[in-house]
A and B are shown apart, each in its own frame.
Chain A
């Protein structure tokens, strides 16, 4: 029986991994077109080479907040959508992809009265473009923190419309007959003008550097046409692109797929490494390891919660194995990011959330191995889930693998300072989550279990020591980096202050415990407050918009942060309240 339990438990974990693997497999062809193959074409955008699929996903995420949408009864994926935008703008313009939530903006475009909906197509918006642009231009000079809600929303809408506009004018000027026609009409009077427009509007550069040019000299269609117009010869990639264009417009999948093969042939002669890199990244895009990991953590958490009331001897190991499966997917995702970017794991706010979650999960796995009470699993699953949710929300602002600005361009310091300090965040959050579990348990559990309480307090204490070490070392390493790059060790910059707050708070907890001013319960209340401090120094200081570290600004998160702090304060209250204080008879302790 015990044997069977073990196999069932580990079988569940293996099943989760299998599902994760299935997600990675490419989808089928859309209407016979090899959209996956098209998505794996490498292009240069945002300073790095990536597959078209990444551009499609990130653009759709920015414009639509999701990586796909339903239109006319079927799902349209990012690659197919991009194909329509690039080659059949008349079709793409009809797809309702622009999300507008702000009531004032809805009022501005006069849509509120006619239909109750929040999704608009480019055609819907086209009659209001002038007004949107006028309003956005008026709001643009105001710094992002000082804009009103309407100004923020209108600038955001304008940016999305402009991104869409650029995309549909990247391969051909929208409404023109296509690339093939452009090649034929080289040298005609208006050609140079059109090429210039195309060059200016191009969102990405799809033609690999021609033989003899520098390694970064990728060209957009407009640039290649300009070069050809000036007598510099036709870029070998233009003809296959023209064929792709014609075949897609003519709805001819067979010639499309053939032209795609030709285009890949051109890329592999000009820039062989790019093709491999792009197909690695597209696999990573499809796998969505952090989304899959988040789902598995959620499952693990639910299973563990059920285990407290039903069949614990079966479900607790099952939850543990699910957590382990989630951790494997999460780890592989992190590793893939590191390899794709050639950078240490944390490079921006998004990846710091991913890494904090990873650290918490790994710590939780270790704790569960040591204590085997299910708490490690519960807390790790909850922390992993929560931080990946945060990461998902932070990742809606575009490419999560963007290039590093010059001052951050140091793999050594990114690997030491940033990673250590992020591990410090992980630990503080994990201790806080343990404390929350302790608080809730105290009120929910029916019988007093001193031993478990003691074990939880021990775990929290140990983790606080751990996080003090990492946050202190991380902070001081940050100071040393600052000394190396700005010539001063400590400048009281908001981000530095935030890190210092975590160190101070952890030190206060340990000293208060050591001196005996607080015991287990007090320690736990303080650990929950640690969550607030960490959240503030992680995100709060970015909202101030001052200092050298304010590269991760965001405004939407303000309310999320306020809500989080309020919830933690309530939990501190719950933790501090005596057990079962709400029971009608005070003496009814069991």
Chain B
């Protein structure tokens, strides 16, 4: 019985019908994902269609979303199983060598995309000319930084990620006597100046007293940023320091003093500190003569890594990224009248897999089509002779 079921499953997974159905599903997904990008932005559409097991849709009549289509992850997984089962089924003979190479290459390619989907981290680093930066920051995720700025020589930074703020409650800041009480958290909000006569702000201290905060729907399109905001109440030594408004929309950090130490609060894009630092020595934005067409962007960066005793200059420019300590830094954007350079930073442990796959599959296709061509020519020859 079990044997029968097992063989049925095996037969299911190695059928050509499955292959074709999955490929057609994948095509549909690719089309849907492409069209959805107009509304949702690339990242949003990819997460909804490609990096999920099901495509969910919220119907007005139902309180919960329903899966309406298999997602890219499910199709990819099934396709990989199908591919592996089928590959094992290909006879180990020389005339099938091309097939073997192609399908093994495809497995590697899928594995690469899987690794990228699961483990790739996209961040960026913006440096002004002359500035030294030792962190990368997220595109979308926020954190609330509590900085001990008492010593002018250095700041001690404790940060609370937005996911923790969203849970609310009291958050003890390690290493300090402070506990933060999250009174209200807005994933996205619109901040305006409080008009006279309106209901007073929740804030009792800082610039938030004069601000009116309205919750806004969360955005996911590529160029939109959520104005994450929160009302928090720092407590220390049994005493409240008032309710403060913290928001990405606010520029400068706000500070209060407890027992002679000054703490600054700032909502900002989530940072990851690096054991090395980049200094931007020069940024170039060349144009073709007499036009506004960009010819080249490049950043001359001094990489200083104390742990490796390394200090060297690197030129990062279009089509020439810097791969360093598992991260890839590439020239992405610029600003502030060409004095600010924005480097995109990608960390993907599986970045080599597509290269391997490319070689395997190209080779496989060549071998296979050469074999087919030879057979077909031979057949024509035989036909002519007979």
Contacts and interface: CB of A to CB of B under 8 A. Distances in A.
Interface of A: 44-48, 204-205, 216-218, 402-403, 405-407, 409-410, 413, 458, 462, 465-466, 468-469, 472-473, 476-477, 479-481, 483-494, 497-498, 500-501, 504-505, 507-508, 511-512, 514-515, 517, 541, 544-547
22 contacts: A47-B293, A48-B288, A403-B295, A405-B294, A406-B318, A462-B373, A465-B372, A469-B369, A472-B365, A485-B318, A487-B344, A487-B345, A489-B354, A492-B34, A492-B50, A500-B30, A501-B31, A504-B23, A504-B30, A508-B27, A511-B23, A544-B37
Interface stretch (B38-46, B151-159, B263-271): B38-46
Q: Identify which of B50, B318, B366 gathers the most chain A CB atoms within 10 Å of its CB.
A: B318
Contacts of A511: 16, 19-20, 23
B180 interface: no
A405 to B, nearest CB: 6
A477 B358 CA distance: 8
A218 B290 CA distance: 9
Given A488-B346, A489-B351, A493-B42, A406 B361 contact: no
B330 A403 contact: no
Interface in B351-368: 351, 354-355, 357-358, 361-362, 365-366
A46 B291 contact: yes
Nearest to B15: A515
A511 B27 CA distance: 15
B62 to A, nearest CB: 29
Interface string B1-44: 00000000000000011011001101100110111011000100
4 A-B pairs closest in CB distance: A47-B288, A515-B16, A487-B346, A216-B289
B321 interface: yes
Contacts of B321: 484-485, 487
Contacts of B376: 458, 462
B272 to A, nearest CB: 16
Q: Identify which of B17, B109, B289, B361 gathers the most chain A CB atoms within 10 Å of its CB.
A: B289
Interface string B293-311: 1111100000000000000
B27 A486 contact: no
A413 B319 contact: yes
B348 interface: yes
Given A497-B34, A547-B42, A406 B297 contact: yes
Contacts of B361: 472-473, 476
A161 to B, nearest CB: 21
Is chain A's binding surface mostly helix, strand, loop or mixed? helix
B289 A480 contact: no
A480 B358 contact: yes
Interface stretch (B63-71, B112-120, B235-243): B112-120
A431 to B, nearest CB: 14
Q: Identify which of B319, B354, B372 gathers the most chain A CB atoms within 10 Å of its CB.
A: B319
A403 B288 contact: yes
Contacts of A48: 288
A217 B289 CA distance: 8
Contacts of A490: 113, 116, 354
A95 B384 CA distance: 67
Given A469-B365, A476-B357, A515-B16, A407 B42 contact: no
B173 to A, nearest CB: 34
Nearest to A145: B38
A285 to B, nearest CB: 21
Contacts of B362: 469, 472-473, 476
B328 interface: yes
A35 B30 CA distance: 54
Contacts of B34: 492, 494, 497-498, 541, 544
B328 A494 contact: no
Given A469-B369, A472-B365, A492 B42 contact: yes
Interface string B319-349: 1110000001110100000000000111010
B204 to A, nearest CB: 42
Contacts of B23: 504, 507-508, 511
A468 to B, nearest CB: 7
A407 B297 CA distance: 9
Contact of A47 (B42, B122, B290, B348): B290
Given A469-B366, A490-B116, A480 B293 contact: no
A517 B42 contact: no
Interface in B213-247: none
A467 B319 CA distance: 27
A469 B344 CA distance: 32
Contact of B45 (A472, A480, A486, A492): A492
Given A216-B289, A469-B369, A517 B20 contact: yes
A517 B16 contact: yes
Chain B residues touching A, range: 35 or more
B321 to A, nearest CB: 6
A407 B319 contact: yes
A541 B361 CA distance: 26
Nearest to B120: A488
Nearest to A413: B319
Contact of B46 (A44, A217, A492): A492
Given A485-B330, A489-B354, 15 more contacts: A46-B293, A47-B295, A406-B296, A466-B369, A472-B362, A476-B361, A480-B358, A483-B351, A483-B354, A488-B348, A493-B42, A494-B37, A504-B30, A508-B23, A508-B24
A492 B33 contact: yes
Contacts of B369: 465-466, 469
A514 B19 CA distance: 12
B347 to A, nearest CB: 9
A339 to B, nearest CB: 20
Given A501-B27, A505-B27, A546-B38, A473 B358 contact: yes
A457 to B, nearest CB: 12
B358 A406 contact: no
A450 B274 CA distance: 70
A409 B318 CA distance: 8
Contacts of A517: 16-17, 20
Q: Identify which of A487, A515, A541 gathers the most chain B CB atoms within 10 Å of its CB.
A: A487
Contact of B116 (A488, A494, A501, A514): A488
Interface in B175-227: none
B344 A486 contact: yes
A485 B319 contact: yes
A216 B289 CA distance: 6
A551 to B, nearest CB: 11
Contacts of B295: 47, 403, 406, 409
A479 B353 CA distance: 12
Contacts of B30: 492, 497, 500-501, 504
B339 to A, nearest CB: 18
Nearest to B27: A504
Nearest to A49: B289
A489 B113 CA distance: 9
A484 B319 contact: yes
Given A472-B365, A511-B20, A44 B290 contact: yes
Interface in B43-74: 45-46, 50
A493 B38 CA distance: 11
Nearest to B350: A489
B37 to A, nearest CB: 5
A404 to B, nearest CB: 8
A476 B109 CA distance: 10
B342 to A, nearest CB: 13
A487 B31 contact: no
Nearest to B354: A489
B328 A487 contact: yes
A462 B357 CA distance: 24
B291 A403 contact: yes
A545 B332 CA distance: 19
Contacts of B344: 486-487
Contacts of A514: 16
Contacts of A473: 358, 361-362, 365
Nearest to A370: B380
